[in-house]
A and B are shown apart, each in its own frame.
Chain A
Amino acid sequence: MPLDYQIAEHTLANGLRVIVSEDHSVPNVTVNLWVNVGSRHEVEGRTGFAHLFEHLMFQGSRNVASGEHFSALMAAGGRLNATTWFDRTNYFETMPRGAMDLALWMEADRHGHLLDAVNQENLDNQRDVVKEEKRQRYDNVPYGNALIDTYAAIFPKGHPYHHATIGSMEDLDAASVEDVHEFFRRYYAPNNTVLTLVGDLTPDEGFASAERYFGPLTAIAAPFREPVAPLAPLTEPLRDEHMEDVPADRLHLAFRLPVDDTPEFFASSLAIDIIGGLATSRFYQRLVRREQIATSVSAHAMGFVDGVSLGFLAIDVADDCSADAVEAAACEELLRFAAEGPTEIEMESAMAQTERGWLSALASQEERADHICHHAMLQGDPGYINTFLDRLGEVTADQVQQVAARWLMPDSRAVVAYLKQDGDAS
């Protein structure tokens, strides 16, 4: 079905791209900012820095006290946060229309004048908080580091996606106030940022408010670089095995995929769904339903911009079964899929589930704003939200087969295995 979310765009003199999507269904506005810096821009010895920096954006700026970004906006009915990922950093809040100008004023203050408030004390405090985030999400839970190991296995050392956004404890320890200044001056500027406003406002109102608060900010020398050279699929399998105190053996099968926003990536994403994402996926039908040698299968295709994307499938091995047997069966299914391609029903199913997922994502102003910023910044196309499903619909079964035969072959897999310490039940 054709989507027609309103999109209006205007670029300020300082280079800030402003996109407004008018939607009066709720008397709210979502403010969403994407800054074109993520962990892919980090240098050796400073992994985790983009994310630590994002935390400092809540510790005050020229006219905003530490913590006030949260407290002032929440007290006005705002829900807000920020996240850091390989390709970018985003900052977002949703609040009643009458608090939009306050949000923009506060955003402009920290995006323009953060360094007035950065000091050793708030750096040390947020470094501690980030280390607890790392311990909570990665170090103190079973399989917590599996994705970090997966990135390190599938992307070569020195590649932008080789290290995870959370970084390492040593590098977090090494971060200095000087690093914060240098990073801010290098990456945080209106001409390296996209601002999207979605909700109860007109484009003219949005552009005027953006001009009022962000207009005075100064552009910087272009920090942009071309994407790094494309990566081809692995030519032979890689393996990274961990014997740990985990409740069950778990296998992560990772593959390089084509860069995001290409027909090849869309095809690979459908292939990943059909192989492991759907409730009727090849892996689920065989490993979980019929042979019952696994208890769960999940699959994701993550689109990136720097020459490659990532596909991975996680499989929990059933208690009395061998991880090797599960992996062998999975490889057989990969070969079979590459040889046969998807059935008509599989294509229909993967398309239908992607459509529902996409419509559900766009159903909330918050997620819609985030998707608009994403594609405006990384692909230059703020209208992507309206055209994605049509473009996906053009992908053919042949294309899905071709992409699988090139990118999703057993020889191109990197396997990160977490195996029970007391020995593999076999």
Chain B
Amino acid sequence: MIHQESVAEHDSTIERPDVSAPEPWSFPEAQRSELANGLGVVSYDIPGQYVISVRLAVPMPLEREPREREGIATIMARTLDEGTARHTAEEFAELLERKGIALGASASESGLIVDVDVPKRNLTEALDLLSQAVREPAFPANEVSRHVKIRLAEIDQERAVPGHRAAMEFISTYFDPDERASRPTAGAKETISAITPEDLIAFHSANVVPSGATIVVAGDLSDLDVVSEVERALGSWREAPAHILEPREAARATDAERIVFLDRPGSVQTEFYVGCPGPDRRVEGGWAAYPVLGFVVGGSPNARVDAVLREEKGFTYGIRSGFRPRRCGGMFLASGSVRADSTVEALGLLLDILGQARDGFTEEETRAGVDFIGKTAPGRFATADTVADEAAALSLEGLTTEFTTASLLALADVDAEALATAYNRYVTGEWTVIVVGDASLYAEGVRGLGRGEVTVLPA
């Protein structure tokens, strides 16, 4: 045991150290090529990353789903590896696991992403299995019906979780009912239940094609010839190009500016989901200001929203806000939950804080936000999976990680005035507000705030 006299009262105040400027850093450099079949190949050599991350991104806007089969892109993604031309579902799962391969797939508004993580020495096997899943899925009836059942159970689970419930109600209130965006990406009960193996086969062959798709390979690529590896696995993949739809912005509903209160009796917290239009990444004036705004308004415990609702009032564990770009257009969103009996005061404060931000931001806030976004980038993009995810997501919007680099460089020009201009351009007070909580106790109070028409619905 060590004993030493406490000298704390005399010399413990060590001078606060200065912060020196960060070393230069740039986003990992991409090597790009294209196979004869139109598949783009992008690789990032990141030394020391022994798990290789592979992402195959296939542009496939959700609007391609038949209206009465919505969710088919998600069911397709989930069944790609559940039986192929050469292997049953169980055999395929075993082939993946014996090589330590994690393979998953999901569909978003802009496309399909199949993701594979694998220890470097098994990359060849992983690419072969990825190729089989993408090119030769068999969609066995038994596996399809099983995944339909799982999705139906998942819908019940989502409805029961207030955050999910709020998000679902938000899109159906915010978007025009004719827009695909107004309905859940993964489909609703009626449309999911209708999906057959034949539907999946047809949807797959029309949409999952190499032309326009991109495969991203990131990790420690020393001694690997990535293009040859990809060529061997996917070079013989030939399908006619899919019909290209020009992206357009989904229309907002004519009555979107209102409050929907979903009644969830007995809730000990109330969930808020508040949003208005925002930009996409190609916004005039540049994207750089928007992540900074997200941070300054609602990205940390000391940001505008939580400085009051969490650190001053103790109403919440945290409410977060940020700009969410879509392929075309986007949204500004703030969401989180508050103690039930603070519902009315907290919603009023939240809308006030978001509104007052239109008056502008201090130099100190601006500098902190710009530095946070810029100086955290080396850490945020230090691993193979984060680099691969960024590249794959951007590819679905027709962008490359040059966009990431350019946005980081453009931070140098983001000042308080640029923030105010960017914020005011979109956040004009026309909110769509979803509240999930006990309506019998708080709906009248929310009405009394005078922030818009309030509709009460069962949750």
A residues whose Cβ falls under 8 Å from a Cβ of B: 1, 13-15, 23, 25-28, 58, 62-63, 66-67, 70-71, 74-79, 94-99, 101-102, 105, 108, 112-113, 124-133, 135-137, 139-142, 191, 200, 212-213, 216, 218-219, 221-222, 245-248, 278-280, 285, 288-289, 292, 295-296, 316, 318-319, 345, 348-349, 352-353, 355-356, 359-360, 363-366
Contacts and interface: CB of A to CB of B under 8 A. Distances in A.
A39 B12 CA distance: 30
Contact of A247 (B96, B157, B375): B157
B311 interface: yes
Given A13-B4, A58-B301, A102-B17, A28 B100 contact: no
B8 A112 contact: yes
A67 to B, nearest CB: 5
A71 B20 contact: no
B149 A355 contact: no
Contacts of A13: 2, 4
A26 B118 contact: no
Interface in B92-114: 93-94, 96-102
In the complex, the 5 A-B pairs of residues with the closest C-beta atoms, listed nearest first: A77-B375, A128-B314, A352-B100, A98-B20, A96-B22
Given A28-B379, A98-B21, A348-B98, A125 B311 contact: yes
Of the candidates A74, A98, A245, the one having the most CB atoms from chain B within 10 angstroms of its own CB is A74
Interface string B1-27: 111101110011110111111111100
A64 B115 CA distance: 44
B376 to A, nearest CB: 5
21 contacts: A67-B301, A79-B380, A96-B378, A98-B19, A99-B22, A105-B14, A129-B310, A130-B317, A216-B11, A218-B4, A219-B3, A247-B156, A248-B156, A248-B157, A296-B150, A348-B98, A349-B98, A352-B119, A360-B51, A365-B379, A365-B382
Contacts of B375: 76-77, 95-96
Interface stretch (B29-37, B70-78, B169-177, B366-374): B366-374
B202 interface: no
A316 B371 CA distance: 45
Contacts of A78: 376
Contacts of A125: 311-312, 314
Contacts of A75: 367-368, 371-372
A12 to B, nearest CB: 9
B90 A63 contact: no
Given A1-B121, A200-B23, 16 more contacts: A1-B119, A14-B4, A28-B378, A28-B382, A75-B372, A95-B375, A102-B16, A128-B315, A128-B339, A280-B93, A289-B90, A345-B98, A352-B98, A353-B97, A356-B101, A360-B51
A248 to B, nearest CB: 6
Nearest to A67: B302
Contacts of A360: 51, 117, 385
B364 to A, nearest CB: 8
Interface string B304-322: 0001001111111100000
A77 B373 CA distance: 7
Contacts of A58: 301
Nearest to B367: A75
B78 to A, nearest CB: 12
Contacts of B338: 132
Contacts of B312: 125
A8 B3 CA distance: 25
Given A356-B102, A356-B119, A140 B379 contact: no
Given A360-B385, A363-B384, A219 B8 contact: no
A245 B264 CA distance: 11
Contacts of A245: 160
A26 B25 contact: yes
A127 B315 CA distance: 11
Given A78-B376, A129-B314, A359-B119, A345 B94 contact: yes
Interface of B: 1-4, 6-8, 11-14, 16-25, 46-51, 89-90, 93-94, 96-102, 117-119, 121, 146, 149-150, 152-154, 156-157, 159-162, 267-269, 300-302, 307, 310-317, 337-339, 367-368, 371-372, 374-376, 378-380, 382-385
A292 B142 CA distance: 10
A245 B156 CA distance: 12
Given A74-B300, A319-B153, A136 B93 contact: no
Contact of A70 (B152, B302, B317): B302
A295 B117 contact: no
Contacts of A112: 8, 12
Contact of B22 (A94, A97, A292, A319): A97
B118 A76 contact: no
Contacts of B339: 128, 131-132, 135
A116 to B, nearest CB: 10
B8 A113 contact: yes
B2 A15 contact: yes
A369 to B, nearest CB: 12
Nearest to A5: B48
B193 to A, nearest CB: 13
Given A77-B374, A213-B14, A141 B51 contact: no
A138 to B, nearest CB: 10
A247 B98 contact: no
A363 B93 contact: no
A66 B8 CA distance: 21
A62 B2 CA distance: 24
Contacts of A140: 162, 267-269, 337
B152 to A, nearest CB: 7
Nearest to B312: A125
Contacts of A348: 98
A355 B19 contact: no
Given A27-B22, A99-B19, A289-B89, A216 B8 contact: yes
B150 A355 contact: no
Contacts of B267: 140
Given A13-B4, A219-B4, A279-B96, A79 B379 contact: yes
B14 A280 contact: no
